[in-house]
Amino acid sequence: MNTQSVLDRRSFLRRVSSTALTLPLIGLGVVELTSCARATGLATPAAGGSWKISICGDKEPGEPLIVSGTIYAPDGRTPVEGISLYVYQTDATGVYSTTGSDQRNTRIHGSMRTNKEGRYEFRTIKPGSYPGSRNPAHIHAYISGPGYPEYGIDEYHFEDDRFISDEDKRNALAQGSFSPILKLTRGSDGILHGVRDIKLQKKN
């Protein structure tokens, strides 16, 4: 994406961080849980864990979505094991379900750790755009691991989003599998699938 788009998006997120909305708890099975992560037994970001996780329950309203990919070293060719990827997002209505201003603790979130092949995968639902905004729907993501202090990467976006400009789509296309704008395909089971590879960046 172009620099101005990234700056505008980050500025918008800072403005809305203090006004995150709270939704009622969603019942999963026979118990009420405050987090989709708890519903699936996910580890917290600090604990890490499996390379393949679910960050919401099967009954979460919205279109089921599976995102997968490989995390590579800065050379873009060598898969890296043991890298943590933390993701969080809104629900299908575009609302963060938090009880405070830290959206990273929203209900739909989770952490995974790459396997020996550098692979990661998470199952969720396709998020909605913020109510009343023209901000594209997205999934936030943070990377960390040995030699890589935590840092944020470009959000996951979706090619069919009407709020993504043609220019941004062209720029993303040039990045190949590293594009943050996912092209979604629907499997025979009705589940959406998207692939995004990630190239680690050394931070000073």
What is the mean predicted confidence (pLDDT) over 97-109? 80
In the CATH hierarchy, which top-level class contains the domain 3-199? mainly beta
**C-beta separation of 40 from 22 below 8 A:** no
Pairing of the two strands 192-195 and 64-72: parallel
Query: What share of the chain has pLDDT > 90, as a percent?
Result: 69
Burial 47-57 (b: 16+ CB within 10 A, else e): ebbbbebbbbb
pLDDT score, position 46 = 40
**The predicted structure's pLDDT at residue 24:** 34
pLDDT at position 15, please? 42
pTM of the model: 0.76
Q: Is the per-residue pLDDT at 47 higher than 80?
A: no
Name residue 77's amino acid. Answer: R
Mean pLDDT of 38-64: 73
Environment class of 124 (CB within 10 Å of its CB; exposed 0-12, middle 13-18, buried 19+): buried
Residue 203: band (very low, low, confident or very high) from pLDDT cuts 50, 70, 90: low
* Residues pairing with 198 in the sheet: 71
For residue 94, the cross-strand partners are: none
